């Protein structure tokens, strides 16, 4: 297998394995850099019902960071220990985003139930009035 031809920030030759004939590993491959950027850009712009969803965008961004770290660890640019710590911290951020999504879901459900209850009571009042008129 061919070695990656990129030079790392430290000035050494990258220790990664080239993923195709381009001679670059995953971390250095220009195609994948574009892919990651596009995914992070495209993702989460719009949520359900056309509203922006920052949580989805955050998750896509975090995914990109996880992949970047994975690539750099494999390429020998980031030490395994550092990579593990960063991955753990990113996992914490991910937990926050997921928690936020859940909380928002609960809030939306609560609002919808309240709205339904309000409409029900309005309908009930209308029915009562019609009933009285009929008498
Ligand atoms: Zn490389």
Mean pLDDT check: name the lowest of 14-28, 62-76, 96-110, 115-129. 14-28
- Burial level of 65, CB count in 10 A (0-12/13-18/19+)? middle
Cut 0.75: pTM above it = no
> Residue 111 Cα, ligand 1 centroid: separation in angstroms?
50
25 alpha carbon – ligand 1 mean position (Å):
4
User: Between residues 38 and 33, which one has the greater pLDDT?
Assistant: 33
Coil/strand/helix, residue 27 = coil
| pLDDT at residue number 135 | 55
Cα(46) to centroid(ligand 1), Å: 34
- Tell me how far the alpha carbon of residue 65 lies from the centroid of ligand 1, in angstroms: 16
Q: Which of the 8 DSSP states describes residue 26?
A: T
For residue 49, the model assigns a pLDDT of: 53
The pLDDT value given to residue 47: 45
How far is 135 from 127, CA to CA, in rounded Å? Answer: 13
Query: Which whole-number Å values give the CA distances from 70 to 63, 66, 82, 101, 109, in the listed order?
Result: 11, 6, 11, 26, 38
45, 57 contact by CB (below 8 A): yes
Would you call 79 helix, strand, or coil by DSSP?
A: coil
Percent residues over pLDDT 70 in the chain: 82
16-45 exposure pattern, b = at least 16 Cβ within 10 A, e = fewer: bebbeeeebbbbbbeebbeebeeebeebbe
């Amino acid at each position: 297998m061919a070695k990656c031809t990129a030079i790392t920030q430290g000035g050494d030759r990258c220790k990664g394995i080239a993923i195709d004939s381009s001679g670059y590993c995953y971390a250095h491959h220009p195609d994948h850099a574009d892919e990651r950027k596009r995914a992070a850009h495209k993702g989460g712009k719009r949520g359900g019902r056309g509203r922006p969803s920052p949580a989805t965008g955050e998750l896509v961004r975090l995914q990109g960071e996880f992949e970047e770290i994975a690539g750099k660890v494999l390429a020998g640019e980031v030490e395994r220990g550092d990579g593990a710590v960063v991955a753990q911290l990113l996992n914490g951020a991910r937990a926050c985003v997921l928690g936020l999504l859940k909380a928002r879901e609960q809030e939306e459900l609560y609002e919808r139930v309240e709205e339904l209850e309000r409409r029900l009571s309005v309908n009930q009042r209308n029915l009562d009035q019609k009933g009285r008129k009929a008498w």
